[in-house]
Structure 1
Amino acid sequence: MALPAIVAAVFTLLHYRRGGIFIPLALVASAAGDLMGAQHIFIAQVAYFALAHVFYIVDFSRAASWRGRWARLAALAVVAGGYLWLILSHIESAAEMAAVGIYGVIIFLMAACAVTQVRRHAVWYAVAALLFVFSDGLIVFNKYVAAVPCEDVLVMVTYYAAQGMFAYLMIGRNMSRD
């Protein structure tokens, strides 16, 4: 399960240029999260994915502009906040509630930075970020609220699409600097 993220990390590292290390680091952290998930170590899985999103935040925030984007940020905050409240209201374990709550804030910040970018292909970064949010949203809904039909397939397709898009965009960004 971690192999696609590892392959994406290797390809992005092969095309690494000055200032572009954060997406490869995010992919490595995601691969570690995949490995923890395969071993059913939920808190460690969440921690590695949170770290991955911190790396994405650093990369995206360098190209973000909040000016004139408050409406889309407010809409994102309302939807994300409502969804997070729904999920947290179904979690009984204090440790899992804290982990999911913190992770929810971090992934929201990643999506917020992605949708406010002003770089080339910014819309595709936003699409990839929202696919990642959707994927993770399915995981926690399935785990805490109700079973989602074909959850595994939906999660993996959207997750790998997001990771693949991030890798492709980063490689293209660095190749255009040559």
Structure 2
Amino acid sequence: MLTEVVVLSREQAAEHHPNSFLLVRPLRGARSPQSVAGPQSHWPPSEAAGGDSSSMDTRARDLPREPGLIAHILRVAWSLSPFLLTCAAYFWFWIPEAPPSLTGALVKCLPVLSLVLFLRVQAPRGRYTTLLQAALLCSAGGDACLIWPDGFLYGMAAFAGAHLLYVTAFGWRPPRLATLLPVGLACSLQYGLLLPHLPSDLALPVAAYGLVLATMLWRGLARGGSAGPGGLLFTLSDAVLAWDAFAWPLPHARLLVMSTYYAAQALIALSAVGGPRPKAS
């Protein structure tokens, strides 16, 4: 409908319409809304639909959403398939029960290495992703060292380096000092219970590693997202490993250690993957 807007003075407006200073008048020859929609229709369109604007908002919310999020989830899940397959291969061959070998070390490292490629494909490039990839590579080195009993200290050093990289990636803001207290108490209790069972030459290295691990857990919880659960599972995995190795054997300890460890690495890697990226216009 073609209309024209007529601006009236205050006196003219009082004569034509007491509540407005603007009048909308159809141009000569143009059809009014009633003539187009019929005598029973109303104006504006929200009233013609038989309701107010809130009903229109409700109907808009009920419309099917754009499937961008679902497609993004499917892409991420597909990119994780090498990680899942290599984890399945590790547990299928059950490497912890096999004699130490280069093949066993490779099979053990493959899930973590596949997460490096996953970040390359799915995560946006930047400092955070690069630090996570470096931490995963250090973790793979630690996995290989721990295949051999003589490589325990080397493996612990490699994982300490991985945790320091994770701490650098997570950052120091927000500080979340309230989270630091329970983390520090729990890790101190774990070390205090483990200390009587440690060899004297490992007491200091294990204490240093525990401090780095606790810092990683604190900063992961402070960052939020999947980094928090990832840090918790990593800490649980290391606690079970230390207790099984130095205190007393636990049933199915290796299965619990490796399943929580791989899940922890995957969750931390997923913290670098954001939502669906907007399409380029």
Structure 2 match to 1:43:
153
Letter paired with 1:173? G
Task: Identify the range of structure 1 (131-140 vs 160-169) with the bigger mean alpha-carbon deviation.
Answer: 160-169
Kindly indicate whether residue 162 of structure 2 is the aligned counterpart of residue 55 of structure 1.
no
Letter paired with 1:17? R
Change (3 A) 1:22 1:124: same
Counterparts of 1:29 and 1:104, CA distance in 2: 17
Counterparts of 1:140 and 1:82, CA distance in 2: 13
Q: Structure 2 regions of 5+ residues with no counterpart?
A: 1-107
Helix, strand or coil for the counterpart of 1:38?
A: coil
Q: TM-score, normalised by structure 2?
A: 0.57
Counterparts of 2:156 and 2:278, CA distance in 1: 34
Matches of residues 131-150 of structure 1 in structure 2 within 5 Å? 131-150=233-252
- Larger fraction in helix: 1
- Cα distance, 1:174 vs. partner? 8.7
Q: Structure 1 regions of 5+ residues with no counterpart?
A: none
The list of structure 1 runs, each at least 4 consecutive aligned residues, that deviate by more than 2 angstroms after superposition, is 13-16, 69-72, 173-178
Q: What is the percentage of aligned positions where both structures have the same residue? A: 27
Q: Which digits, 9 at most, give the CA deviation of each residue in 1:105-153, with x for residues without a partner?
A: 0000001111112xxxx14211110000000000101111111110011
Matches of residues 28-177 of structure 1 in structure 2 within 5 Å? 28-40=137-149, 41-61=151-171, 64-66=173-175, 69-94=176-201, 96-117=202-223, 122-170=224-272, 172-173=273-274, 176=277
Change (3 A) 1:176 1:74: farther
Q: TM-score, normalised by structure 1?
A: 0.88
Change (3 A) 1:146 1:58: same
> Is the contact made by 1:6 and 1:27 (CA closer than 8 Å) also made in structure 2?
yes
> Is the contact made by 1:91 and 1:144 (CA closer than 8 Å) also made in structure 2?
yes
Counterparts of 1:176 and 1:45, CA distance in 2: 38
> Is the contact made by 1:33 and 1:49 (CA closer than 8 Å) also made in structure 2?
yes
* Higher relative contact order (Cα pairs below 8 Å, separated by 6+ residues): 1
- Cα distance, 1:156 vs. partner? 0.7
Task: Identify the range of structure 1 (5-14 vs 31-40) with the bigger mean alpha-carbon deviation.
Answer: 5-14
Letter paired with 1:39? W
> Is the contact made by 2:146 and 2:155 (CA closer than 8 Å) also made in structure 1?
yes
Change (3 A) 1:175 1:87: farther
- Cα distance, 1:16 vs. partner? 5.1
Rg: which structure is higher? Answer: 2
